[in-house]
Amino acid sequence: MEYSLRDAKNTDLQIIRNLSVELSEKEAEEFDPTIDPEWNTEEDATKYFEARITQEDGFAMVAEEDEEVVGYILGRLRNAEDYRTDLDIAELETMYVKPEYRSQGIGTNFIQHFESWASEQNADRMRVEVTSQNEGGIQFYERSGLEDYARIMEKNL
């Protein structure tokens, strides 16, 4: 399969939303039942997706095969938490590749493009949040050079 990567456009909004629903359903089923796939269809989600596509501090890219979008990556540039020194963080917020297109280098290429963009933006660090039960995702990000920085812990009440 031959794929290509390109910057996302507003015309990709619906397909990114649909793929994000698929990702959220998978995450909710396998790792975190508190994830709400329906959020992707709400107005706040539309604003979020549009901001990543159109705003200067946003990053949005899609992978295509035969003009069909088969994956996406979204991120943004943000400031570190107030208690840290002045750092600009390139946060990879969400990435998804359809299952039948995985293990072909799409995710790795997405990460490489995001890291290049982050460097061009003079980001100090790159960050991604991944569910602790998602061992495959954690291994993928570790292979991409990311390391544990912090751990968020929760308890059901």
DSSP, collapsed to helix, strand or coil, labels residue 87 as coil
pLDDT exceeds 90 at position 105: yes
Does some domain include residue 150? no
Residue-level pLDDT at 154: 86
The 10s digit of each residue's pLDDT in 77-92 is 998 888 888 889 999 9
Q: Report pLDDT for 59.
A: 97
pLDDT at 141: 95
The β-bridge partners of 62 are: 6, 72
pLDDT value of position 102:
93
CB 33 within 8 A of CB 136: no
pLDDT for residue 1 is more than 80: no
107 part of a folded domain? yes
- Residue 134 CB coordination number (10 Å): 16
Please identify which residue in the block is written with the tokens 């604003």.
47
* Cβ atoms of residues 28 and 52 within 8 Å: no
Domain enclosing residue 138, as ranges: 4-143
Q: Is residue 98 in a domain? A: yes
Confirm whether 149 is domain-assigned: no
Asked, for residue 152, whether it belongs to a domain, the answer is no
Query: What is the average per-residue pLDDT within 24-33?
Result: 94
Provide the domain count of the chain: 1
Confidence band for 145, pLDDT divided at 50, 70 and 90: very high
Residue 96 lies in a domain: yes
In order of 36, 43, 73, 95, 154, the CA distances from 22 in angstroms are 11, 18, 14, 11, 25
* CATH (domain of 95): 3.40.630.30
**What are the tens digits of pLDDT across the range 49-104?**
999 999 999 999 999 999 999 999 999 999 888 888 888 999 999 999 999 999 99
